[in-house]
Structure 1
């Protein structure tokens, strides 16, 4: 049998062990909480890093073909810097300048005949799709947009074209070059002889003759 002293010592040892165990549990719980917190922070940091990665990936909101890239590799850009020209290679529209004297004759849906240096000897059909109501004060012209109804097989942005907007049609009309007309009323039927004519539909290149000439008459271009 042990003494009272031995019993007290064992009791103290047991109490000390319980205190150490509780302290270890507290440290364990604190460490576990810290590990959980660190894991959450690491997960958040990973999500932030992934979201920032998308900032360096440039995506267009529209499908299309890249025609030009502005910055060179390694060049620093900002959010306002244009990066590229992207377009739909299957659909093109035409930008036409119309003089202020003719703009009142233009209406949506009018037929347009297009000739291009890239397609010599061919004509393509289009329709007026938009009329910009604000005149360019410098050029005194209005911007008109047209869309092809018969599109060339291959096109590129910024190609030049000549357009004739059909504002009126007339069958079997007698026409002459506009620069053969003198003072909008006369033509030369001989080198020096003028003949009075009555004109009809006209544009910058051609003019309709209503009276004064037949398709058998010869005319001469005035000397400049």
Structure 2
């Protein structure tokens, strides 16, 4: 009787277990084409995009183009009325005159060094005569060895001093010539900064934005305009540093833009910048983008999927059905380790351990 009760209990437990398994979600191993990609985000920019800035400070006296206008290479863009810099020019002129004075052949600096060379040569000449005389005496066994050694030491010391004096003269003369050239260039540069300063376009393209207004003060290196190619765009993407080693030039890219619902644009990876942003921990990548029939604008945000690998007709399971240790739960509740290959956001390739049509249960949360 006791054995019968135990058997009934076991049977009830198995039935409950099977019923519990039947309530869990399941998936069937199937064949699909699988694409492995890397996610990136970024923005649309025109090709050859650059920011126009000034090398001088001053007042923006005239804007010669409008936003949206096409420009040629060399087209005048704006004029800056340079701030008065008479004091700076005077300082540069004084520095140039001082450099000329110092670099002149008869300057006090060079004359003092020549005197040092002459004195060092006079000492060296006398010491060389003494050394030669003591050498002859030594050869004739006249005079002490100690006196000869002192004369030799004095000769070597004066020779070294003479060479150092000549080197100082030569190096100082070269340095003063360089300082004169630098002072001359600084003076000419300061002269060129007086009066009006006109900025020209360095490419053929379109003016996409103008930041300051006429009459505003412009600082050196301040962005003034944004110019890029007309109607030709590219995508500037940020790729996580953990994925950047997978990216190569020529890979296909698929874009989704917030401004273009239900549209997917295509492109190719063109450039990979070899630097990781120390704050964002991302690398910059530039891809071409085909607008098809859509109108694109600089600054449009986008998301991208960069295709790394593609496989046709492979066995797959939903990624939620395979654990991090590549373990799956079979239909009877048992667990099995499988081998996996590439994956996308939804599916993972099963390379070994399961066959098409096998049923796998979804792990409990």
- TM-score bracket for the superposition, by shorter chain length: 0.5 to 0.7
Return the structure number with greater relative CO, CA threshold 8 A, min gap 6. Answer: 2
Q: Secondary structure at the match of 1:74?
A: coil
Q: Secondary structure at the match of 2:288?
A: strand
Q: Aligned-pair distance for 1:184? A: 4.7
Q: Which residue does 2:246 correspond to in 1?
A: 105
Q: Aligned-pair distance for 1:107? A: 1.6
Q: Deviations over 1:93-117 (max 9, x none)?
A: 1122223333222221112222222
Q: Which residue does 1:186 correspond to in 2?
A: 327
Between 1:121-130 and 1:67-76, the stretch displaced more is 67-76
Inter-CA distance 112–133: structure 2 relative to 1 (3 Å threshold): same
Alignment of 1:50-199 (within 5 A): 55=197, 58-148=199-289, 150-152=290-292, 153-176=294-317, 178-187=319-328, 196-199=337-340
Q: Aligned-pair distance for 1:61? A: 2.4
Q: Aligned-pair distance for 1:147? A: 1.0
TM-score, structure 2 length as denominator?
0.39
Inter-CA distance 99–155: structure 2 relative to 1 (3 Å threshold): same
Residues 174 and 215 of structure 1 are in contact (CA less than 8 Å); yes or no, is this contact kept in structure 2? no
In structure 2, how many angstroms separate the alpha carbons of the residues matched to 1:221 and 1:119?
A: 37
Q: Aligned-pair distance for 1:186? A: 3.3
In structure 2, how many angstroms separate the alpha carbons of the residues matched to 1:76 and 1:188?
A: 70
Residues 212 and 224 of structure 2 are in contact (CA less than 8 Å); yes or no, is this contact kept in structure 1? yes
In structure 2, how many angstroms separate the alpha carbons of the residues matched to 1:111 and 1:128?
A: 7
**Higher helix proportion (structure 1 or 2):** 2
Q: Secondary structure at the match of 1:104?
A: helix
Q: Which residue does 2:8 correspond to in 1?
A: none
Q: Which residue does 1:21 correspond to in 2?
A: none
In structure 2, how many angstroms separate the alpha carbons of the residues matched to 1:185 and 1:68?
A: 53
Residues 252 and 266 of structure 2 are in contact (CA less than 8 Å); yes or no, is this contact kept in structure 1? yes
Q: Which residue does 2:342 correspond to in 1?
A: 201
In structure 1, how many angstroms separate the alpha carbons of the residues matched to 2:364 and 2:208?
A: 47
**Higher strand proportion (structure 1 or 2):** 2
In structure 2, how many angstroms separate the alpha carbons of the residues matched to 1:130 and 1:102?
A: 15
Q: Secondary structure at the match of 1:164?
A: strand
Q: Aligned-pair distance for 1:155? A: 0.9
In structure 1, how many angstroms separate the alpha carbons of the residues matched to 2:346 and 2:303?
A: 12
Q: Secondary structure at the match of 2:249?
A: coil
Q: Which residue does 1:28 correspond to in 2?
A: none
Q: Aligned-pair distance for 1:130? A: 0.8
Q: Which runs of 5+ in 2 are unaligned?
A: 1-194
Q: Deviations over 1:138-184 (max 9, x none)?
A: 33322111112x33421112222222222222112344554554215
Q: Which runs of 5+ in 1 are unaligned?
A: 1-51
Q: Aligned-pair distance for 1:207? A: 2.8
Q: Aligned-pair distance for 1:200? A: 0.7
In structure 2, how many angstroms separate the alpha carbons of the residues matched to 1:77 and 1:125?
A: 40
Report the aligned-residue RMSD: 3.2
